[in-house]
Chains A and B, each alone.
Chain A
Amino acid sequence: MFPPDLSAFGDALTALAETVQIAFVGTVIGFVFSLPVSALALRNIFPPWVTSTVRWLLGIVRTVPVLFWAVVFVIAVGLGPLAGTLAVAVYSFGYLSKLFYEAFEAVDAEVIDALKVTGVSRLVLVRHAVFSESMNTIVSQLLFMFEYNIRSSAVLGFVGAGGVGFLMVSYIESLSYSSLTTVLVFTLATVLAIDFLSGYVRRRFLPGFRPASA
């Protein structure tokens, strides 16, 4: 495996960029859908039949691991990064929704009461009472999800769903272990860099705020 084969540098970089894109776009899509849906799980705003149905569906989505979603989407839309992105999106959606509605439920019930009497509609109530109150948690958990997705996107290529994993598999199959080392080192460096970056964002914008671990 040593020394690393530096001629694999270019391929590694391209594949890693794809992995980061998969993680980023997937996280964003998951986020966009999880915000409204997690609000529907709030028992102090929506009726029980809505909240229980939503919670039940989210529970099912969450039990499915991201690699399984990747296989499903490879079958559905074919090999490549689109399948990976959709897998990450669905997985993030399930996970973020749960993290969000738990955070939302911790929102001061008195805030909701005080605004209910103004005659506000439920959607506007959610926007002002729930989202504003939880903004720090939302940002923090979004960062956490992105970090997590970078890691999981790296292996999506094993099942053909795009990104750097695909390169790893092909180097293993062709016994190009020196090239594999290059890819692994760069993957590790990327993961660390992203962790560092989101750590910086956290310290800079969310001082004194600890994320709920998942």
Chain B
Amino acid sequence: MTPVLTIRGLSFSYDGKRKILNGVDLDLNAGESLALMGYSGSGKTTLLKIVAGLLYPYEGVVQVKAGKNGIGYIPQNVGLVKNISALENVLLGSLGRVGFFNGLLGRFGDEVERAYGLLEELGLSEHADRKAGLLSGGERQRVAVARSLMQAPSILLADEFVSDLDVINAVEVMKLTTEICRRKNIVLMMTMHDTYLVNQFADRVAVLNEGKIKAQMPAREVDVKSLSAILSGGKTG
């Protein structure tokens, strides 16, 4: 399998003293969806931000095989602009495609049609003109997914993007997102807490602990017991 993302010996510190990441090795293959698990504070968000190119400098190698602007990133609290509409938020995802002046003037041309198309795919057609700040949690998550897809990414990084949702909504959003990503051949890397959702929607799991990937396994094998065994240092590999 061709790796789309290769990480070798990645170390990172915010303050130059405490190493949040300390020798992370991880591959991500084409067509795969990976769940990154680990304690709160273990550095999952940090790792995603580094892959997204938002945090530097770091030690080690992070190699991404993706086109221009080929990495989509959905932050932990989705990061929508609240006082503009869902559609306008989705359009912001194509800012890197429309060029400087069009971007500055907010002229999106053909991208508008694509945005409507994505909103429809995510079941948001009727919410297109509503202010993002007035949308429900699940609707906001889906708008954020649509915004990322506007970039036509090769990799989509999603930081706990269903953690705030009730289980019904979480399942729906996860289902839609993983289906679309599979269809468009987008690699998914998600940080997640919920083992049920991991079982259902991820292919593989990587467990981050003490700055390293402590274990990797097929997602369907993950349960709370095996996780806590890994995290308490019992089992590796």
Binding site for B on A (CB under 8 A): 108-121, 123-125, 127-129, 132-133, 135-136
Please determine whether B95 and A117 come into contact, CB atoms closer than 8 angstroms. Answer: no
Give the shortest distance, in Å, between B147 (CB) and chain A (any CB): 7
A110-B75, A114-B75, A114-B147 known; A120 and B83 CB under 8 Å?
A: no
Binding site for A on B (CB under 8 A): 49, 52-54, 68-69, 71-84, 92-97, 100, 103-104, 106, 144, 147-148, 150-151
Please determine whether A132 and B69 come into contact, CB atoms closer than 8 angstroms. Answer: no
A118-B69, A120-B96 known; A110 and B79 CB under 8 Å?
A: yes
Q: List residues of chain A with CB within 8 A of the CB of B81.
A: 111, 128-129, 132-133
A124-B95, A128-B92, A133-B83 known; A113 and B103 CB under 8 Å?
A: no
**Selected A-B contacts with CB under 8 Å, 19 pairs:** A108-B79, A110-B78, A110-B79, A111-B79, A111-B80, A111-B81, A113-B52, A114-B144, A114-B148, A116-B54, A117-B52, A119-B68, A121-B100, A124-B100, A127-B104, A129-B92, A132-B81, A133-B81, A133-B83
CB < 8 Å A-B pair total? 85
Q: Apart from A114-B78, A117-B71, A119-B69, list 15 A-B contacts with CB within 8 A.
A: A110-B75, A110-B79, A111-B80, A112-B79, A113-B75, A116-B54, A117-B69, A117-B72, A117-B151, A118-B93, A119-B68, A125-B95, A127-B106, A128-B103, A133-B81
Please determine whether B96 and A118 come into contact, CB atoms closer than 8 angstroms. Answer: yes
Please determine whether B69 and A110 come into contact, CB atoms closer than 8 angstroms. Answer: no
Please determine whether A132 and B84 come into contact, CB atoms closer than 8 angstroms. Answer: yes
Smallest CB-CB separation from B77: which chain A residue? A110
A108-B79, A132-B84 known; A114 and B68 CB under 8 Å?
A: no
Give the shortest distance, in Å, between B75 (CB) and chain A (any CB): 4
Q: List residues of chain B with CB within 8 A of the CB of A117.
A: 52-54, 69, 71-73, 151
